[in-house]
Amino acid sequence: MIGHLHQKCALALVLACFLAGAAALADKKHENQASSDLPLFSCPTGQEDAMQYFVMRKDLRENHYLSGEANPSYTKMFPDLDFASAGYWFWLKSPEAHGFDIKAFDEKYIYIRGTELNWKDNSTFKRKEQDNPLTTRCVPVNGASPMLRVSNARFSFYENCKAYKTSSLGTIVDNLDAPEMMDAGGDIGQVMTRVLHYRFNCDKHFENCKDEEQSFLGKGYGRWKWVHLKYGEVLKTTVVNHISKGTAQAIPPCENAYK
């Protein structure tokens, strides 16, 4: 009798595991189906979607990331398509999401939303008071984006997911260059690249910008080079041009960092 009872319990446990697994697969299938049902964004004739340059393409980012002389760069997109009308993404600088940049996009612009604060604690971050546009979403196929001027450059500092002080980057001036074939080296090699110029700490007339960050954005790969200039002098350069296999297992824990 006891042996028969044990057998029934074992069968019940196996059945429960099977049903739980089936339910999980069904949920995953539903999520994938929901994403695939979203309409894809397209630009007018003569223009192209700048997202192709900002973000590593889907078939590559699913199992790969960029690595190089500094921290790596993992791309995580929401929704995970190439490309929806609106959403956000992370450039994660470690698989545990210690170090990150948060960008957003809609039908009009691509924006900067936030970035890490303390690399050892990803519940700390800086977030813009409002998303600051970096470039128009649609750009001329062979041309540059228009220059954008942002007057509200205020942002907040967060710790344990809560804001505790605010600051400002003066005013901001940014634009995206026309595409140019560049040699990224590493595993990328020759790639069509647009350079994003993000100038900040500018005066009230949008002039005399103290700082500039240049992001070299390779079509289908995302940012493979980053340069920080102060008063026109290069302070730091990082290159991530190797395609490595792996995925990030985490995103920042504070939803108010990215939603």
Confidence of residue 5 (pLDDT cuts 50, 70, 90): very low
End-to-end CA distance of the chain: 57
| Torsion angles phi and psi, residue 7, rounded to 5 | -65, -40
- Which of 10-19, 166-175, 212-221 shows the lowest mean pLDDT across its residues? 10-19
12 pLDDT more than 50 = no
Residue 69's pLDDT is what?
Answer: 83
Residue 213's pLDDT is what?
Answer: 98
- Give me the mean pLDDT over the 17-35 stretch: 43
* Cα of 70 vs its chain's centroid, Å: 17
**Residue 252, by phi and psi: left (phi above 0), alpha (psi -120 to 50) or beta?**
beta
Average pLDDT, the chain: 89
* Domain ranges (residues) in the chain: 1-37, 47-257
d(CA 226, CA 72): 12
Residue 39's pLDDT is what?
Answer: 82
Confidence of residue 37 (pLDDT cuts 50, 70, 90): low
133 pLDDT more than 60 = yes
Residue 36's pLDDT is what?
Answer: 52
d(CA 172, CA 181): 27
User: Measured on CA atoms in the order 93, 254, 218, 150, is the torsion positive or negative?
Assistant: negative
Distances (CA, A) of 65 to 14, 92, 174, 232: 38, 10, 27, 31
169 pLDDT more than 80 = yes
Q: For the structural domain made of 47-257, what CATH number should be given?
A: 2.40.360
Structure confidence by residue, pLDDT tens digits, 97-112: 999 999 999 999 999 9
